[in-house]
């Protein structure tokens, strides 16, 4: 991601509707996978960004985290997350085989050229039977300036995500799209930008805007999270996959 946007993300992660809505969804999915009798577990957040999600993961057990960007790791350390380690892109993870019960990688894999290779490394550090939670942006026709700002290599479909996970040696338990309620307006906006051939800018899509609108969008995303935590849906702006190491 462009370095200049890390400070903005650091400030926004606690109040922007997109960050809050996806966090609600991920936690609901994990609560179903690891109810209280199955805790505490050992877990890794791969590509933790500025670290806002780490304190929420602590309810499940002992958290380790890595990121490939020095600025992101510095922001994590400023939050007091001294356990976050810098791991250069493509480098082996500094953990032994079969270390973790859960790995989360949330809007990370699309940044990596060799996505299957990265997934294989995550499989290595998972214990047999361990779970992997992946979130990625969906559908290449939604490609927009946010993808460019974020240095994405691709967007996924359920089919391409399942194929990458299978090639990396995972068994896929479920895939579902999310951010579905807002899919129509987001799709229209991104396609219109492409058709109108508006000049490319370095501006990120992340802007809180009017607080009332931010709250309303957050409420919509939160309501959707309750549904998607239980059932799969056929389209959305993003894609979630839950897999396990056989």
* Helical H segments across the chain, by residue range: 6-12, 17-33, 54-57, 70-78, 115-125, 145-149, 158-167, 183-196, 211-228
Give the domain ranges of the chain: 3-244
Architecture of domain 3-244: 3-Layer(aba) Sandwich (3.40)
Q: At residue 215, does pLDDT exceed 60?
A: yes
Q: At residue 136, does pLDDT exceed 60?
A: yes
pTM for this entry: 0.90
Packing angle of the helix pair 115-125, 158-167 (nearest 10 deg):
60
**Interval 153-162 mean pLDDT:** 98
Q: How distant, in Å, are the alpha carbons of 24, 32, 43, 132, 159 from that of 119?
A: 24, 23, 15, 9, 16
**Interval 2-7 mean pLDDT:** 59
Q: What is the pLDDT of residue 207?
A: 59
In contact, 93 and 47? CB cutoff 8 Å: no
What pLDDT digit, counting tens, does each position of 79-98 carry? 999 999 999 999 999 999 99
Q: Round the average pLDDT of the chain to a whole number and report it.
A: 90
Q: What is the pLDDT of residue 240?
A: 98
């Amino acid at each position: 991601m462009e370095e200049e946007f890390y400070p903005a993300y650091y400030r926004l992660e606690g109040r922007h509707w997109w960050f809050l809505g996806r966090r609600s969804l991920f936690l609901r999915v994990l609560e179903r996978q690891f109810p209280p009798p199955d805790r505490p577990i050992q877990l890794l957040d791969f590509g933790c960004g500025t670290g806002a999600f780490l304190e929420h993961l602590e309810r499940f057990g002992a958290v380790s985290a890595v990121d490939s960007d020095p600025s992101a790791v510095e922001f994590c350390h400023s939050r007091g997350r001294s356990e976050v380690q810098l791991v250069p892109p493509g480098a082996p993870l500094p953990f032994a085989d079969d270390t973790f019960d859960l790995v989360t990688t949330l809007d990370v894999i699309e940044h990596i050229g060799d996505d299957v290779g990265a997934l294989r490394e995550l499989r290595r550090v998972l214990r047999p039977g361990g779970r992997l939670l992946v979130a990625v942006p969906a559908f290449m026709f939604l490609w927009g300036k946010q993808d460019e700002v974020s240095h994405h290599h691709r967007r996924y479909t359920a089919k391409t995500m399942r194929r990458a996970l299978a090639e990396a040696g995972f068994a896929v338990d479920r895939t579902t799209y999310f951010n579905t309620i807002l899919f129509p307006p987001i799709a229209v906006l991104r396609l219109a930008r492409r058709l109108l051939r508006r000049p490319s800018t370095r501006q990120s899509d992340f802007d809180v805007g009017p607080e009332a609108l931010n709250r309303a969008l957050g409420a919509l995303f939160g309501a959707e999270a309750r549904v998607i935590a239980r059932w799969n849906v056929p389209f959305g702006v993003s894609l979630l996959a839950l897999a396990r190491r056989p």
